[in-house]
Structure 1
Amino acid sequence: MKAMEIGVIVDMTDQIGSIFKNLQQAGIRTCQLNTFDEEWLSDDMVKLVKNAADQCDVEITAFWCGWPGPRVWNFYEGQATLGLVPPLYRLCRLEVLQKGSDFAAKLGIADLITHVGFIPENPNDPEYSGVVQALKQLVKHCQSHGQYFLFETGQETPVTLKRTIEDIGLPNMGVNLDPANLIMYGKANPLDAVDMLGDLIRGVHAKDGEYPIDGKNLGQEKRLGEGKVNYPAFIEKLIRLNYKGALTIECEIAGEEHIKEVILAKKQLETWILSAGKDDRA
């Protein structure tokens, strides 16, 4: 994979072959696979995905693994429903994430990603140690496959994320940096996050958004370039960091408009990358 290759998140379905053909026609060579449905983590899907990727020459850079149970993406119900933080769902979700690691290993995918949830910012919070122990088990499971476990950013501050990684204390961890999430959750400026997370960054989502305007709901997601992420400066920082991974477009528009939005985002990213590269050479 070339440095700063542009990819896209792909939801797993039985139409994965057609999806990969669309990527090939759009000139997109990388993707992250994504699912919240445990039923797709099957050997039949392994064969289907592998054949489609081989035929269309698409590199799968990571597997974004969701988990069962409720999920509410806001600041109130989200605390009790998202990721491995809620004790009620922790064990069953840990099992599914380990199954996701097994699935990714069969496809030769090196990175497993998920949202861990609202990790307590107070390390003395009674729930913090339980989250760390569950994550340690998951990270060790990934390690057995030669994989990295990546934290999707957003629901915790970069400092909390670094502390959690330090407290787990295993070498095969990293970050999938979503700059829009940091803004939409009101947790950090993405430019500062690059400085704080540094070499931990192994994946990046290309998404844009606005800061929250109330205390319950996330900020709104926006089209690339229309939100608060300063993408020219963000990409320049990644280049200076010598980031070698992909910029993976996250577009939640469904249907025929999806690929149109992805192509627009790809063109915009290419413009920013070219401009940052010229500035860097200067």
Structure 2
Amino acid sequence: MPTNSAAPSPRSSMEPFALGVCSWSLQVKNVPELKGFLDQLGVDVVQIACGDPHHASWDEGDDLPSVARAAGFRMTGAMLGFPGEDYTTPQTILKTGGFGDPETRAERLERLDWALDRTLALGLTDLMLHAGFLPEIDDPARSEMLDTLAKAGDAARRKGVILAFETGQETAQLLRRTLDDLKSPSIKINFDPANMLLYDMGDPIEAVKILGPDIRSVHVKDARRPKVKGTWGEEVPLGEGEVGIPAFLDALKSVGYQGPLVVEREVGDQQGRLRDVAHGIALLRECLAR
């Protein structure tokens, strides 16, 4: 698909701190269901799962882009998950997440190419994904991982898309160093403060200050750190965890972030998630009004 085939991204006309939700948090299977939940929540902003047919398909299939663009909501960007990613434990995601496994890198770069085209078809300019665990500076595996990430950035640049790697599986300092090493104008950050707690990778407020210039989008989620090293922390509704939502919003403002705030909830059944997302949106509105 040619680079210039995408319509102007809806996010370019969004007000600062537009409130929305991640489509997968609502466990929807089709666009009308998504639109109905957005109407219930009183928002029209969504970060949308791009609908890989091998991983997280929509009922609309290949028609998803045209149906979503006609649905009347605004999309901040698309999210790609790779087939085979296993989030059961930190150890399984270390092995299966993103571009971490050398054995799956070639096929995942092909899947990324598909997702870049899907992003453009949705009329968007932003694609979010987990890059995988980033090797430490002195790790012999780092060079090949950075080479793969550079290829991903080049593919995005050729199509006029921004790749936003999601935070959490590494410290902010390591992610900062990685972005500086890559020097790719097409690679930015999708900041998730809760992931840093779930993976026990540092203070999310300090991380905002370190990564600020490259924060392209934000998942607003809350969590508590793990009690036992090497296990998951606990995801909780907004305001009940250790992020400190008012301080997080202040930190985003201090680094000049003006983009959307999309609530993500990945625990519970559909109705429980809907309830928790509604609570999160109400909390954000209250904090932003202060």
TM-score computed with the length of structure 1 as normaliser: 0.89
Which residue number corresponds to residue 4 of structure 2? none
1:169-208 to 2 correspondences below 5 Å = 169-208=183-222
Identical residues among aligned pairs (%): 31
The one-character-per-residue Cα deviations of 1:219-269 (angstroms, maximum 9, x if unpaired) are 110111110001111101212322121111111233233322221111011
Given the alignment of the two structures, is residue 168 of structure 1 paired with residue 206 of structure 2, yes or no? no
Matches of 2:62 and 2:158 in 1, distance apart?
Answer: 19
Q: 1:53: how far off?
A: 4.0
Matches of 2:92 and 2:34 in 1, distance apart?
Answer: 33
Q: 1:146: how far off?
A: 1.2
Question: Which deviates the most, 250-259 or 203-212?
Answer: 250-259
Code of the aligned partner of 2:22: I
Given the alignment of the two structures, is residue 234 of structure 1 paired with residue 237 of structure 2, yes or no? no
Matches of 2:34 and 2:20 in 1, distance apart?
Answer: 13
The one-character-per-residue Cα deviations of 1:93-151 (angstroms, maximum 9, x if unpaired) are 22112211111111121111111111112x23221111111111111111122111111
Code of the aligned partner of 1:7: G
Structure 2, unmatched stretches of 5+, are 1-13
| The one of 101, 105, 116 aligned to 1:86 | 101
Cα RMSD (Å): 2.1
**Residues 48/85 of structure 1: CA separation in 2 closer, same or farther (3 Å cut):** closer
Matches of 2:88 and 2:158 in 1, distance apart?
Answer: 32
The one-character-per-residue Cα deviations of 1:33-66 (angstroms, maximum 9, x if unpaired) are 1267434679x645334334433x2111111101
Which residue number corresponds to residue 272 of structure 1? 287
Which secondary structure state, in structure 2, belongs to the residue aligned with residue 174 of structure 1?
strand
Which secondary structure state, in structure 2, belongs to the residue aligned with residue 209 of structure 1?
strand
Which residue number corresponds to residue 10 of structure 1? 23
**Residues 105/232 of structure 1: CA separation in 2 closer, same or farther (3 Å cut):** same
CA contact (8 A) 1:85 1:127 kept: no
Code of the aligned partner of 1:142: A
Question: Which deviates the most, 254-263 or 220-229?
Answer: 254-263
Q: 1:186: how far off?
A: 0.9
Which residue number corresponds to residue 34 of structure 1? 49
Q: 1:29: how far off?
A: 1.6
Matches of 1:72 and 1:266 in 2, distance apart?
Answer: 26
Q: 1:25: how far off?
A: 3.8
TM-score computed with the length of structure 2 as normaliser: 0.87
1:104-119 to 2 correspondences below 5 Å = 104-119=119-134
Question: Which deviates the most, 191-200 or 255-264?
Answer: 255-264
Which residue number corresponds to residue 152 of structure 1? 166
Question: Which deviates the most, 91-100 or 203-212?
Answer: 91-100
Corresponding residue pairs, total: 273
Which secondary structure state, in structure 2, belongs to the residue aligned with residue 72 of structure 1?
coil
Matches of 1:158 and 1:129 in 2, distance apart?
Answer: 19
Given the alignment of the two structures, is residue 215 of structure 1 paired with residue 229 of structure 2, yes or no? yes
Given the alignment of the two structures, is residue 21 of structure 1 paired with residue 33 of structure 2, yes or no? no
Matches of 2:21 and 2:155 in 1, distance apart?
Answer: 26
Which secondary structure state, in structure 1, belongs to the residue aligned with residue 87 of structure 2?
coil
**Residues 41/76 of structure 1: CA separation in 2 closer, same or farther (3 Å cut):** closer
Code of the aligned partner of 1:229: V
Matches of 1:26 and 1:230 in 2, distance apart?
Answer: 23
Matches of 1:115 and 1:8 in 2, distance apart?
Answer: 18
Which secondary structure state, in structure 2, belongs to the residue aligned with residue 151 of structure 1?
strand
**Residues 130/184 of structure 1: CA separation in 2 closer, same or farther (3 Å cut):** same
Structure 1, unmatched stretches of 5+, are 276-282
